[in-house]
Structures are given as structure tokens and as C-alpha cells.
């Protein structure tokens, strides 16, 4: 056995003994309102980056909040030891908190409380996505340092501040610093476990095309009594466009949308069937019962291997209390497409924009705003690091870790491959009921605690 493996028990004991202090540090980071999409919180994003820099410097890393045209990227390097070199990725920015009235406590004053099914949970914006997850890795490093005086492998980190707002500044940053960011493998902690008992590594991620459209008709708001029928109503135009995006059978109607979409191989489908996914329970957790997507597709296919079109937001006219008989001048919507392997974000965006343009009346207009675009990626589902990580996760949960797909998009995994030539292991400890992007986001205390222990084991395995 190597030194790292010998030390493992001591490091795990250190994690257990220091859990309260780990939680205190997590809470300090959670209190910083680093909402990246809202310019009003730019200083808070800088503060989160600075907090991480200071924390990592305390662990012996050389760290800095590196400027970008947007929010800074935290880059940190541990000592240049021989052997495996990992590049860890997480993001310190969080989603907005609205609708704020649905939160049971201040989103930025984290509370630890009893959750469902006897669980203990940490409630607050970013607990699960992604501050709680990224801190599992940092706390694992701290435990190694405290118990053995050193990190078991060479570690670099890249902690982003724009994951929740398009992240368009990260790829150029990676290109500009490609030499500095070289490593043997990238680690990303921003995904779910398969279920509460089963750890997993995600190897299939969808891409994303985000679009915002604004439809302009009259040159000012009009009185609907004076102009109704005669004046074009942008709410109506927008609704007709949105309605036209999905066919009655649940499929997306954009021409060519499915042209580059491959069927999942039978072998993979068979493996998925073996997962025992309970689609009634999955929808039931959200209070729903009827899958909304393509008929004759399983829910797992819908969320892992089929592309989507979702209306993330829409607004037009008077939406306050009471009533106002107005025909608004404008109406707008935020629309996202999740892409699967083979689909080209550029092509899908163009098809969407053409579809919309064709539906704008001649005396009205539309403007488009891009909110991120990334292709789907498939991580190789074999390799030494993957096998070592699966074993480490299985050891921690005493249950065999599984390889899964994911409905979400983590564009950085594609960029690691494309820009740095790195394979990525997507290892995360979140749960589907964590309510990320929603009010009362939470992270299980067990996710945090076992997450730290799992990283301790993964690093030990990589040191062997």
C-alpha cells in the first residue's frame, strides 16, 4: 500500500471530526449573494471569488481571482508533486432567488434543519448548486492537509462565477490560459447521485441553446378598448409562436430539429432499464403524473437522450394586481433548448430564429438575444480514472456506483475536451429533490459529509 492509502482512515476520521467547522465555512460562502445573472450583484460575485482565494491560500494553494470581461475565475494550484495531476471545477455563482415569497427562510442565511424522511438538510441558495458541492472537494483537500500535512496528488482548481449566466467568458479564459490549466484529468462536482443510496458518475450531458426574444408591435402601449381587434397584440403573437414550437404529440416542431439526433443504442437502453427508474415517482415528486414530452418515449429518454424546448420565462402587458385594459407595445420570452449528442447549437439557434421570423407580422418586429450555446457531450465511459473513482464511490456508500446520463448541461465538460484535451469525471452528490434553481434549495447534510469523504477516497485512489 502507498502512503496515501495507509493514511486514508486518518483522513476520513479528520473529516468526521471537523464536520462542524466544514459547515461553518460552507455557511460563510453561502451568505455571499453571488447571483451572476443580475448586474446588481457583481460586487458579491467578486466577494465570493475573494473568499475562495483566501480559503485556498490558507490550504497552501497559490490562488488568485483572475479577471474576465464578466465575473472573475478563481484559479488555484497546489504544490507541484509528481504523479497524477487533477484539475477540479466548480462554480461559486448562484441562481436568482425569485419568487422570493415562496422561500421559508432567507435564501442567503443558510439554516440546518430536519428534512423529509429523517434527513438533515442545509437550506439556502447555492447549497446544492454549486457551493455545497464545490466545498466537498475543498474540505477533502483540507482534511488531507490536516491529517497528513500534504495533498495526496497534485491539484489545480478552476472555480467559475458565470455558470448560471451563460458562462460565455470561460472558454476564452481557458484558451488564453491553456498551458497553465493542463492536467491529467478534470473533475467536476455539479451533478446528482443516482438516488439517495447510490453514487454515480455522469457520462452523458445535454447541450444548451438559450434565446430571449422580444416582439414589438405598436410604438406604445394602447388602450384595448380603442385599439382591440385592429392593433396587433404582441402577447397573442408571442403565444402563437410558443404554441407552434411543440406539436400535439409533444415533439419539437423546428424543421430539422431531430435530424442529427441518434437513437440510444439498445445496449444502453437495456442498461437504463436495469436502473429501475420509477417514472411515476420522478414525476410524482413534482406533483405531476403525465409525461409531457414525445409520446412513446420513456421519461428517462425524455430527460437524458432527447432534445427539449422549454419556455423558461415570458412576460407582456400588465401583470400587477388588478386589471389594466392595455395592448402592450412589446412581449418577450426566454426559451432554452437542451441538445443531445450530434446536434449543432449554431444550427438549432438559426432554425429557431427563422421559425420565429416567419411568424412575425409584417408591421411588427422581433429582436433576439443569445443566452449561451453549447453542444452535448459524452464522456468516455471507461478508463483508469473512471474505474478508480467508481471503486472509491462504491466504498464510501457500500453500494456499487453506477454510470448515468443527465438532462442538464455542463458546457465546461465539452470545453475541457475541446480546449484542453482533457477527459472529465462528473461526480456529484446532489439529489433530484434539492430544488436547485427553485425556492428553498437544499443540500442533504449526508451529501455534504459523504461527499467530502468520497473525494478523500477518490484522491487516495488517484495517488496509488
| Minimum distance of a second copy from residue 362's CB (angstroms) | 6
Residue 300 CB, nearest approach to a second copy (Å): 9
Of the candidates 75, 185, 327, 343, which one interacts with a second copy according to CB under 8 A?
327
Question: Which range in 7-15, 259-267, 334-342, 456-464 contacts a second copy by CB under 8 A?
Answer: 334-342
Q: Which of 21, 325, 354, 357 is the binder for a second copy (CB under 8 A)?
A: 325
Residues numbered 258 to 287 that lie near a second copy (CB under 8 A) are 279, 282-283, 286-287
Does 361 bind a second copy (CB under 8 A)? Our answer is yes
* Distant-in-sequence, close-in-space partners of 449: CB < 8 Å, separation ≥ 6: 15, 16, 19
Tell me how far, at minimum, the Cβ of 344 lies from a second copy, in Å.
19
- Strands of the sheet containing 111-114, edge to edge, are 111-114, 120-123, 442-444
Q: Minimum distance between the CB of residue 283 and a second copy, rounded to whole angstroms?
A: 7
- Per CB under 8 A, which of residues 211..230 are in contact with a second copy? 212, 217-230
User: Any contact of residue 380 with a second copy (CB under 8 A)?
Assistant: no
**C-alpha distances out from residue 286 to 14, 117, 280, Å:** 38, 16, 10
Q: Which stretch binds a second copy (CB under 8 A): 6-14, 70-78, 108-116, 233-241?
A: 233-241
Q: Which three cell numbers stand for residue 243?
A: 404554441
Closest approach of a second copy to the CB of residue 220, in Å? 5
Compare residues 27 and 91 and give the one whose CB is closer to a second copy. Answer: 91
Q: Is 291 in the site for a second copy (CB under 8 A)?
A: yes
Whose cell is 428534512? That residue is 115
Distances (CA, A) of 451 to 12, 132, 229, 365, 394: 11, 9, 59, 50, 12
Q: How far is the CB of 367 from a second copy (least distance, A)?
A: 15
Kindly state the helix (H) or strand (E) to which residue 349 belongs, with its residue range.
Answer: helix 345-357
293 binds a second copy (CB under 8 A): yes
Q: What is the DSSP string of 278-306?
A: -HHHHHHHTT--S--S-TTS-HHHHHHTS
331 interacts with a second copy by CB under 8 A: yes
Contacts of 387 (CB under 8 A, 6+ apart): none
With CB under 8 A as the contact rule, the residue among 15, 303, 402, 461 that binds a second copy is: 303
Contacts of 49 (CB under 8 A, 6+ apart): 65, 71, 72, 73, 74, 92, 159, 161
Does position 289 interact with a second copy (CB under 8 A)? The reply is yes
Q: How far is the CB of 282 from a second copy (least distance, A)?
A: 7
Least gap, CB of 298 to a second copy (angstroms): 9
Residue 375 phi, psi dihedral angles, 5° rounding: -80, 160
Site for a second copy in 30-59 (CB under 8 A): 36-39
The DSSP symbol for 275 reads T
Nearer to a second copy, 116 or 286 (CB): 286
Main-chain phi, psi angles of 59, to 5 degrees: -95, 5
238 binds a second copy (CB under 8 A): yes
115 binds a second copy (CB under 8 A): no
- Name the pairing type of β-strands 424-427 and 185-188: parallel
Residue 258: partners with Cβ closer than 8 Å, 6 or more residues away? 251, 252, 307
CA distance between the termini of the chain? 8
Half-sphere exposure of 204 (CA within 13 A, CB side): 20
Q: Which of residues 394-423 bind a second copy (CB under 8 A)?
A: 406-409
Options 8-16, 78-86, 308-316, 395-403: segment touching a second copy (CB under 8 A): 308-316
> Interaction with a second copy in 12-31: which residues (CB under 8 A)?
none
Least Å distance, CB 43 to a second copy, is 16
Q: How far apart are CA 260 and CA 351, in angstroms?
A: 13
Site for a second copy in 131-190 (CB under 8 A): 164-166
Amino acid at each position: 500500500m502507498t502512503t496515501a492509502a495507509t493514511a486514508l482512515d486518518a483522513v476520513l476520521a479528520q473529516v468526521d471530526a471537523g464536520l462542524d467547522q466544514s459547515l461553518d465555512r460552507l455557511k460563510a460562502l453561502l451568505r455571499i449573494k453571488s447571483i451572476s445573472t443580475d448586474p446588481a450583484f457583481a460586487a458579491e460575485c467578486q466577494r465570493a471569488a475573494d473568499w475562495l482565494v483566501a480559503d485556498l491560500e490558507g490550504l497552501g494553494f497559490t490562488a488568485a481571482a483572475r479577471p474576465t470581461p464578466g465575473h472573475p475565475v478563481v484559479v488555484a494550484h497546489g504544490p507541484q508533486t509528481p504523479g497524477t495531476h487533477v484539475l477540479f471545477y466548480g462554480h461559486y455563482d448562484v441562481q436568482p432567488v425569485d419568487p422570493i415569497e415562496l422561500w421559508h427562510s432567507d435564501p442567503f442565511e443558510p439554516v440546518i434543519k430536519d428534512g423529509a424522511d429523517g434527513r438533515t438538510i442545509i437550506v439556502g441558495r447555492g447549497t446544492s448548486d454549486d457551493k455545497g458541492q464545490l466545498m466537498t472537494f475543498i474540505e477533502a483537500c483540507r482534511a488531507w492537509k490536516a491529517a497528513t500535512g500534504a495533498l495526496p496528488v497534485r491539484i489545480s482548481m478552476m472555480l467559475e462565477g458565470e455558470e448560471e449566466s451563460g458562462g460565455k467568458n470561460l472558454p476564452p479564459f481557458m484558451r488564453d490560459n491553456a498551458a497553465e490549466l493542463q492536467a491529467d484529468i478534470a473533475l467536476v462536482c455539479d451533478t446528482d447521485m443516482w438516488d439517495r443510496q447510490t453514487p454515480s458518475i455522469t457520462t452523458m450531458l445535454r447541450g444548451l441553446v438559450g434565446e430571449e426574444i422580444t416582439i414589438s408591435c405598436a410604438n406604445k402601449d394602447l388602450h384595448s378598448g380603442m385599439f382591440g381587434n385592429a392593433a396587433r397584440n404582441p402577447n397573442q403573437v408571442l403565444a402563437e409562436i410558443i404554441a407552434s414550437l411543440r406539436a400535439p404529440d409533444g415533439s419539437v416542431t423546428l424543421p430539422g430539429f431531430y435530424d442529427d439526433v441518434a437513437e440510444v443504442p439498445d445496449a444502453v437502453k437495456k442498461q437504463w432499464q436495469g436502473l429501475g427508474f420509477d417514472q411515476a415517482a420522478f414525476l410524482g415528486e413534482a406533483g405531476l403524473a403525465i409525461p409531457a414530452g414525445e409520446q412513446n418515449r420513456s421519461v428517462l429518454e425524455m430527460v437524458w437522450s432527447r432534445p427539449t424546448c422549454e419556455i423558461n420565462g415570458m412576460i407582456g402587458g400588465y401583470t400587477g394586481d388588478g386589471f389594466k385594459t392595455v395592448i402592450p407595445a412589446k412581449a418577450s420570452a426566454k426559451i432554452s433548448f437542451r441538445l443531445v449528442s450530434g446536434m449543432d447549437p449554431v444550427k438549432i439557434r438559426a432554425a429557431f430564429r427563422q421559425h420565429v421570423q416567419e411568424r412575425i407580422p409584417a408591421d411588427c418586429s422581433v429582436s433576439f438575444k443569445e443566452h449561451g450555446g453549447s453542444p452535448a457531450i459524452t464522456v468516455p465511459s471507461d478508463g483508469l480514472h473512471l474505474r478508480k473513482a467508481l471503486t472509491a464511490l462504491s466504498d464510501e456508500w457500500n453500494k456499487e456506483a453506477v454510470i448515468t446520463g443527465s438532462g442538464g448541461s455542463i458546457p465546461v465538460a465539452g470545453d475541457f475536451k475541446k480546449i484542453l484535451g482533457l477527459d472529465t469525471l462528473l461526480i456529484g452528490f446532489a439529489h433530484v429533490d434539492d430544488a436547485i434553481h427553485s425556492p428553498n434549495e437544499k443540500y442533504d447534510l449526508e451529501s455534504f459529509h459523504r461527499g467530502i469523504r468520497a473525494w478523500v477516497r477518490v484522491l487516495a485512489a488517484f495517488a496509488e
